[in-house]
């Protein structure tokens, strides 16, 4: 009887120790979470107003199908057209109009009619600089959006100056 009683006491004591360790771990984890919390933001991942402003002269989006069409922008390079298409998809994804913001060379070819060889070269030159991904699917990371906006704004200003 005494061994059963001792076993019960040891079991109870060990459970208390386990609970105390769990409490300590929770306190440590919550302290660690507080540090990482400083990196989070509730803001939208991109400045939607700025993206729309830069894309408005370049693309249009079909309301029902959410299909993206490039306007007749002959002054833009293929790379800029790919970036504009990618930004439009990113915006549609943020607003939950589409499921994925990834783009591929074959998709851009099918949707825009730009020559396949030009698109392939464009993707090759943008890969690792503005487009990131694996295999054939790429996306524009949020931290690159402002850089792309500036690039497209510059091209837009150059187009306005050359038209005068």
Q: Which pLDDT tens digit goes with each residue over 54-105?
A: 999 999 999 999 999 998 767 789 999 999 999 999 999 999 999 999 999 9
| pLDDT at residue 1, rounded to an integer | 55
Indicate the helix (H) or strand (E) that contains 160: helix 145-163
What percentage of the chain has pLDDT greater than the value 90? 46
**Separation in Å, CA 148 to CA 8, 17, 47, 128, 139:** 67, 56, 12, 14, 13
Confidence of residue 107 (pLDDT cuts 50, 70, 90): very high
**Is the dihedral angle over the CA atoms 44, 90, 130, 68 positive or is it negative?**
negative
DSSP string over 27-54: HHHHHHHHHHHTT---S-SS-HHHHHHH
Per domain, the residue ranges of the chain are: 1-40, 48-163
pLDDT at 142: 87
Question: Where does 48-163 sit in CATH, by number?
Answer: 1.10.10
- pLDDT of 32 > 90? The answer is no
Per the prediction, the chain carries an average pLDDT of 82
- For residue 133, the model assigns a pLDDT of 83
Residue whose tokens read 């906006």: 149
């Amino acid at each position: 009887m005494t061994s059963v009683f001792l076993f019960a006491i040891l079991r109870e004591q060990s459970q208390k120790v386990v609970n105390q360790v769990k409490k300590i771990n929770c306190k440590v984890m919550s302290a660690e979470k507080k540090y990482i919390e400083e990196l989070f933001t509730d803001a939208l991942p991109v400045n939607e107003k700025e993206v729309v402003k830069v894309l408005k002269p370049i693309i249009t989006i079909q309301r029902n199908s959410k299909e993206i069409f490039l306007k007749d922008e002959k002054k833009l390079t293929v790379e800029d057209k790919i970036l504009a298409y990618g930004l439009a998809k990113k915006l549609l994804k943020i607003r939950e109009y589409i499921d994925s913001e990834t783009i591929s060379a074959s998709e851009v070819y099918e949707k825009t009619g730009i020559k396949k060889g030009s698109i392939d070269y464009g993707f090759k030159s943008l890969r690792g600089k503005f487009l990131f991904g694996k295999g054939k699917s790429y996306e524009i990371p949020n931290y690159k959006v402002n850089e792309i906006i500036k690039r497209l704004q510059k091209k837009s200003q150059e187009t306005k100056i050359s038209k005068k």
